[in-house]
């Protein structure tokens, strides 16, 4: 990513006073650069700009985490492809069975999880290196588990469960977990006034513009520049 684009990121995050930014590992350097720029400005002109805190997933590379000054770890881990558990789930994957959309029906979710690539071993075990497919399903289940159990608790619970039955439990948990947002999505898409989302965006744009105006005004004042 070029310097021009990186500077645009700094401008956007500082102008709109972002406080927390979720990023992938490949974007961490740009957030660190933003924080450095805010530090440099504040060291001269006072506490004017906000330094956004970086949010990474729990399983980010340890060397990346250790290199950061301030970091928050998100509860969720990477979501892996259902068809290739060594790859991240992606909307650009040509195989639609590799991913779950928030608006997928219950039957679609059941179908995709049942077709998820696992292995021929009979038990359920969390071992990402040796059993990435089963481990990925356990990760998904733990994120949607209504009792908040982690992957190790769930692995013990389902250890001797037949794979078909385990996959059905994963699918049910995901479908239940997405039901609220799926229903809201469908209401907005099919039953709301056509301008509802446009109105929300317009109000948000007004608020964002005013926040940016106040930030720029404060920056100019601290530098002794005329409004």
- Report the percent of the chain where pLDDT is more than 90: 66
Query: Which of residues 85 and 56 earns the better pLDDT score?
Result: 85
Judge whether 84 lies within some domain.
no
Judge whether 82 lies within some domain.
no
Q: What is the mean pLDDT of the chain?
A: 88
Is the same domain home to 121 and 172? Answer: yes
| CATH number of the domain to which 217 belongs | 3.40.50.620
CB 117 within 8 A of CB 133: yes
Give the per-residue pLDDT at 7: 86
Q: How many CA atoms lie within 13 A of 202 on its CB side?
A: 5
Name the pLDDT band for 81 (thresholds 50, 70, 90).
Answer: very high
Is the same domain home to 186 and 216? Answer: no
Roughly how many angstroms between the first and final C-alpha of the chain, as a whole number?
33
| CATH number of the domain to which 145 belongs | 1.10.240.10
Q: How far apart are CA 174 and CA 102, in angstroms?
A: 10
- Among 103-117, 159-173, 182-196, which stretch is predicted with the lowest mean pLDDT? 182-196
In the beta sheet, which residues pair with residue 127? Answer: 131
Give the per-residue pLDDT at 47: 93
Judge whether 81 lies within some domain.
no
Q: Which helix (H) or strand (E) holds 57?
A: strand 53-57
Is the same domain home to 106 and 182? Answer: yes
By C-alpha distance, which of 52, 51, 53, 48 is closest to 214?
A: 48
Is the same domain home to 28 and 48? Answer: yes
Judge whether 90 lies within some domain.
no
CA distances (Å), 201 to each of 18, 61, 96, 124, in order? Answer: 18, 36, 30, 45
Judge whether 105 lies within some domain.
yes
Give the per-residue pLDDT at 36: 93
Q: How far apart are CA 91 and CA 101, in angstroms?
A: 9
Name the pLDDT band for 28 (thresholds 50, 70, 90).
Answer: confident
Is the same domain home to 147 and 169? Answer: yes
Helices (H), the chain: 3-15, 28-45, 62-67, 106-114, 132-144, 151-157, 163-190, 196-222
By C-alpha distance, which of 5, 6, 17, 8 is closest to 51?
A: 17
Q: What pLDDT digit, counting tens, does each position of 30-57 carry?
A: 888 999 999 999 999 999 999 998 887 7
Domain that holds residue 27: 3-76+201-222
Is the same domain home to 137 and 185? Answer: yes
* Strands 20-22 vs 71-74: parallel, antiparallel or unpaired: unpaired
Tell whether the model's pLDDT for residue 196 goes beyond 60.
yes
- Among 42-46, 75-79, 213-217, which stretch is predicted with the lowest mean pLDDT? 75-79
Give the per-residue pLDDT at 64: 54
Q: How far apart are CA 70 and CA 32, in angstroms?
A: 9
Tell whether the model's pLDDT for residue 63 goes beyond 80.
no
Is the same domain home to 151 and 216? Answer: no
Is the same domain home to 112 and 158? Answer: yes
Is the same domain home to 216 and 172? Answer: no
Name the pLDDT band for 189 (thresholds 50, 70, 90).
Answer: confident
Judge whether 87 lies within some domain.
no
Tell whether the model's pLDDT for residue 69 goes beyond 80.
no
Give the per-residue pLDDT at 60: 53
Is the same domain home to 129 and 177? Answer: yes
Name the pLDDT band for 59 (thresholds 50, 70, 90).
Answer: low
Is the same domain home to 7 and 58? Answer: yes
* Strands 71-74 vs 53-57: parallel, antiparallel or unpaired: parallel
Q: How many domains does the chain have?
A: 2
Judge whether 83 lies within some domain.
no
């Amino acid at each position: 990513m070029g310097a021009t684009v990186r500077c645009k990121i700094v401008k956007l995050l500082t102008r709109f006073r972002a406080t927390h930014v979720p990023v992938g590992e490949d974007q961490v350097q740009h957030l660190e650069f933003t924080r450095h720029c805010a530090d440099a400005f504040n060291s001269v002109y006072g506490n004017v700009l906000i330094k956004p805190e970086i949010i990474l997933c729990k399983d980010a590379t340890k060397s990346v985490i250790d290199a950061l000054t301030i970091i928050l770890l998100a509860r969720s881990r990477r979501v892996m492809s259902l068809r290739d558990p060594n790859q991240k789930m992606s909307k650009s994957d040509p195989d639609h069975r590799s991913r779950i959309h928030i608006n997928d029906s219950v039957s679609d979710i059941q179908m995709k999880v049942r077709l998820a690539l696992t292995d021929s071993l009979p038990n359920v075990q969390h071992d990402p290196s040796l059993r990435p497919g089963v481990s990925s399903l356990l990760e998904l289940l733990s994120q949607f588990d209504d009792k908040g159990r982690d992957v190790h608790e769930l692995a013990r619970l389902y250890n001797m469960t037949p794979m078909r039955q385990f996959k059905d439990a994963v699918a049910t948990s995901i479908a239940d977990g997405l039901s609220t947002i799926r229903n809201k999505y469908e209401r907005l898409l099919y039953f709301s006034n056509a301008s509802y989302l446009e109105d929300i965006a317009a109000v948000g744009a007004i608020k964002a513009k005013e926040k940016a105006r106040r930030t720029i005004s404060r920056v100019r004042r601290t530098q002794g520049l005329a409004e």
